[in-house]
Every structure is written in C-alpha cells, then in structure tokens.
Structure 1
Amino acid sequence: MSSTAAFYRPRPGTVLDVDRAFYDRLAADTDGRQPLERFVVPIRSGYAWEVPAGSLCRIVTTREGPQCGDFNVWNRHNPRERLWTSRTRQLQGTHVSRHDRLWSTLPYLRPLLTITRDTLDWYGTDSDGGRVHDLLGARCDPYVNRVLTGEDFDFHCHSNLTRAVLPYGLTEFDVHDVWNIFAVTGINPDGGYFMKGSPARAGDFVEFFAEQDLLCAMSTCPAGDLSVPLWGPDARDPIDVCRPLAVELYRPDPALTASWTPPSTAPYGGGHGLRRPAWPDAADG
C-alpha cells in the first residue's frame, strides 16, 4: 500500500458502500418532492431546526451572495449521538461533497446524513490545495477571540450555535466541531490552516438526505464569506461580506424511499475486554 493511500479502507459490503443510484434518484426527482419549509438565517446569527428521517434538506446562498455556515447535527432523540468530524475526515475526507456522509460519535458510529447534491463540486482542489465544505477547522468562538484580540464578541459561531440550541434543552457543552459549509480551506506546506474567500454565488446549495431524525443548527459565520481576515495585522470588521443563508426542507416522493431504512448503530457487541468481578458468595460472609 502506498504511504499516501487512505488508511481507513473497508471491506466490500459495509455501510460505507453508498448506493449512489438511490441518492442520485433522490437528487434528480425535484418535481416529485414536496416542499415542507423554507426559512432564512440572518447574518451573524444561529438557528436550529428538525429534519425528519427520510427528508431532504438544502442549504442555499441567497441573492445577497456567498456566506459560510458552521453546521452542527445531532440525533433528534439522543443528543449524545452527534457529528464526529475527526472520524468523518478519516472515512470520507477533509472536505465532503456529493455521496459523502457525516458520521456520528461512539458508540453509535452510523451515518447522520448523506450529501445528495452540491453545486460547488466543480471546484475540486485549487492550486494551493484548498477545497470546499471543510471538516478541518473548528468554529470561531469568543474564547479564542479573547486570546487573540483581548476583546469580547458574543456573536461568534460557537455563541450563535449555543443560543440556537437552547430551546431544545441543549447548552454550549453540546455544541461540537462543525461542518464548514461553502468554506474553502486547506493546510499550507508549513502545516498552517488557511481559509479563502468562498466561491459560492447566489443560488448555490448543498443538499443532504436525513438518515435518521435530526436536529440541525447553523451559524452564519461573523467572518462572512471569508474574503476578509478576521484576525491578524490585516484584520478588519468583515460586516460588509456577511450575508444570510436559506434552508429548505423537502419530502421526497414516497416511492423513492419505500425500501429505505435508517442505518443501524455499529454492530460491535463486545464489552471492551471488561469482565465481571468475582464477587464472594453470600454464604462466605
């Protein structure tokens, strides 16, 4: 095996073998789907919403132009099952697009969602190694902002997501590493994380199929489309490049999902090598 080959390579027939034809049919049948809801997340804010299993969700740049969104996702009925970005990076890649999945934390380890369409899949890898829809970077937060600038700002993505999930009984301890939608990022030759201005245009979108009942939350990043530095010597307030994002929910034609079932949790059935202690019999005192 080449030293650069992916290390996490499954045997055939696992849940990693995506039925691409199934998801392509869902993506193509736009006439047969039923619109359920549409809303807009204003700039520098956050919002949480539910996506029923078997539904489609589309995140769209509005007519105002490009904007990056920091996205969290949980099992709606069990918030301990949530996006695991590091394992998703290993199973799918550092950036995700059509037919890729977002995977949940242990001990569940199953798909939360599968991407069905991505209008930015043309971007590929640029000359600096940058790609779109990042799983590398953490959400911006007021704690690191205080470290970097000595100032407080309450509308970073971590704070936006924290406010968004409060109505669902969650707190900032439930907010986790994000999927950075519409963001172009990469690692430079020195190992540093870089971000570029988003290539998205009005009407671009990424769409996914909910593999289970989901609670989603998204922050419209206060760095906007990432074309203006948020920190460092050239930093300035990027308010002029901050824009809203729209969210659309659809129910696909029931005939397309008639044979689909939500994925099961990981089938590992062991006890991690633990054994029951040898308690003395009651008769032994």
Structure 2
Amino acid sequence: MIAGVVPARQGLAVRLKRGEVLKVINTHGNQVVDFWAFAEADPREFMSMEHCHTRLLRLIPRPGDLLVTNRRRPILAFVEDTSPGIHDTVIAACDSHRYRELGCTGPHDNCTDNLFDALRRAGAEAPECPAPFNLFMNVPVGPDGSLAFVAPVSRPGDHVAFRAEMDCIAVMSACPMDITPVNGMAPTEVHYAVV
C-alpha cells in the first residue's frame, strides 16, 4: 500500500496500474479535490466529464459507475463513496483568470496550475486542463437550471475510491479556493492511499 498527503492548496499526481485502487480521503470534511485521470500510454486521452454525462445520463457519478475518457473508454471505476454523494462535474478548475474575476490582484494558488505542476513533477504533460471531477464539491442545480456555490456536506474522514481500468496517472488538487464557500472558506490537506 502507498499512502500520503496532498498538501493544502497543492496538487499531486499518482501513477496507477490497472486494477489498483486509489482512495481519496476528505480528512477534515470540508475540502474539495479537483480530480483528473490521464491514460499512461497517451495523456491526450483523459477522463472526460462530458463523455461521462453521455454514458451515465446523470451529472453525479455513483459507486458502480465506469468513468470514461474522451475516447469513450473506461479509465476508472467508481467503487466506493462514504460521503453523502454530493460531487460536481460541471464547474471548471479554478485558474488565475477566475481569481481575477473574483477581485484578486496578485497571484493565487489554483487547481489548473496544480494540475500542470503535479504532472510535470511526475514526468508527464497534458495537452489541456480537462473539466475535473470535483470531489466533495457542492454545486446545487436549481429548478431553473441556476447554479450555486455552497459549503461541502461531506464529513471528516469521508472518502471515495476508484479502481484503475487502464494504466493511468491520477491527479488530485486540494482546491485553494478561499473566496467562495466551496471549501468552507478554509482549504486543508487531504490524504490518499493506493492499494
């Protein structure tokens, strides 16, 4: 077993062999984790939320679902979720442009940079920042189709787990958002384990 921590406001890439299981643990209960997976053989193939929507016919994956790539091949199986099951697949990863929109005048940690930095440290590159699977993120959809950013409903120690359906690189970003309430206004570290 491999276990470790994704520090608050940072990202980390983990290589998974087919059949290995990655558990992402919401240590303090309030932390969103932007999550991606890229095919080891060709990072131009990646887990795609748009393609998952088409396959699953719902916005939020559940345990038992296969998550697919932009080439419609299974990359991860969603095997466990001890949280209330509230996650997001609609909102783009935060980036420097988003923080400027929110009034930040200087540099701000962000999930897009975390993705590219984590992959670089792992000796890999991605051609773009795909839409993430925002674990534990609470973005309710109103009856009129409106969206809202609210605090997570997950609890300390809640976790999700994914089984690799192909050799891949999973990337986790402990989202640094501290302006909207998506992290309860206090970004923290999260833990992970690979078995």
Q: Is the pair's TM-score, using the shorter chain for normalization, greater than 0.5? A: yes
Cα deviation for residue 76 of structure 1 reads 1.0
Aligned letter for 1:178? P
Q: Are residues 1:169 and 2:124 paired?
A: yes
Q: How does 1:47-66 map to 2 (within 5 A)?
A: 47-62=12-27, 64-66=28-30
Paired position in structure 1 for 2:161: 207
Query: What is the alpha-carbon distance in structure 2 between the residues aligned to residue 229 and residue 164 of structure 1?
Result: 22
Larger-Rg structure? 1
1:22 alignment partner in structure 2: none
* Contact kept in structure 2, 1:97 and 1:133, CA below 8 Å: no
CA distance in 2, matches of 1:139, 1:227: 13
**The one of 243, 258, 262 aligned to 2:188:** 243
Q: Equivalents in 2 of 1:137, 1:245: separation in Å?
A: 20
Q: Deviations over 1:57-115 (max 9, x none)?
A: 100022x3321100111011210110111110122221112111211013xx1111111
**1:198–1:186 CA distance, 2 compared to 1 (3 A):** same
Amino acid at match of 1:79: P
Displacement of 1:154: 3.5
After the TM superposition, list the runs of 4 or more consecutive aligned residues in structure 1 that deviate by more than 6 angstroms. none
State the SS of the aligned residue for 2:136. strand
For residue 5 of structure 2, what is the aligned residue in structure 1? 40
Q: C-alpha distance in 2, partners of 1:55/1:214?
A: 10
The CA deviation at 1:193 is 1.9
Can you list the C-alpha shifts for 1:132-187, whole angstroms capped at 9, x where unaligned?
Answer: 1211111111112223426233311111112111132315x432110000112232
Partner of 2:69: 104
Partner of 2:80: 117
Between the aligned residues of both structures, percent identity stands at 26
For residues 169 and 51 of structure 1, do their structure 2 counterparts lie closer, same or farther at Cα, with a shift above 3 Å needed? closer
TM-score of the aligned structures, taking structure 1 as reference length: 0.63
Partner of 2:140, secondary structure, is: strand
Structure 1 Cα separation of the partners of residues 104 and 157 of structure 2: 37
2:160 corresponds to 1:195? no
* RMSD (Å) for aligned C-alpha atoms: 2.2
Q: Distance in 2 between matches of 1:61 and 1:227?
A: 19
Q: Aligned residue pairs: how many?
A: 193
Cα distance in 1 for residues equivalent to 2:193 and 2:62: 18
Whether the 8 Å CA contact 2:32–2:182 is kept in 1: the answer is no
- Asked if the contact 1:113–1:211 (Cα under 8 Å) also holds between the matched residues in 2, the reply is yes
Cα distance between partner residues in 2 of 1:202 and 1:144:
28
Tell me the distance in 2 between the aligned counterparts of 1:158 and 1:81.
18
- Which amino acid letter does the alignment assign opposite residue 10 of structure 2? S
5+ unaligned residues in a row in structure 1: which ranges? 1-35, 125-131, 231-236, 251-285
How far apart are residue 227 of structure 1 and its match?
A: 7.1
Alignment of 1:1-285 (within 5 A): 36-62=1-27, 64-92=28-56, 93-106=58-71, 109-120=72-83, 123=84, 132-149=86-103, 151-167=105-121, 168-171=123-126, 173-223=127-177, 228=181, 238=185, 241-250=186-195
TM-score (norm. length: structure 2): 0.90
3-state SS of 1:247 partner: strand
SS in 2 for 1:88: helix
One-letter code aligned to 2:41? H
- The higher-RCO structure (CA 8 Å, 6+ apart) is 2
1:135–1:179: 8 Å Cα contact kept in structure 2? Answer: yes
Q: Which runs of 5+ in 2 are unaligned?
A: none
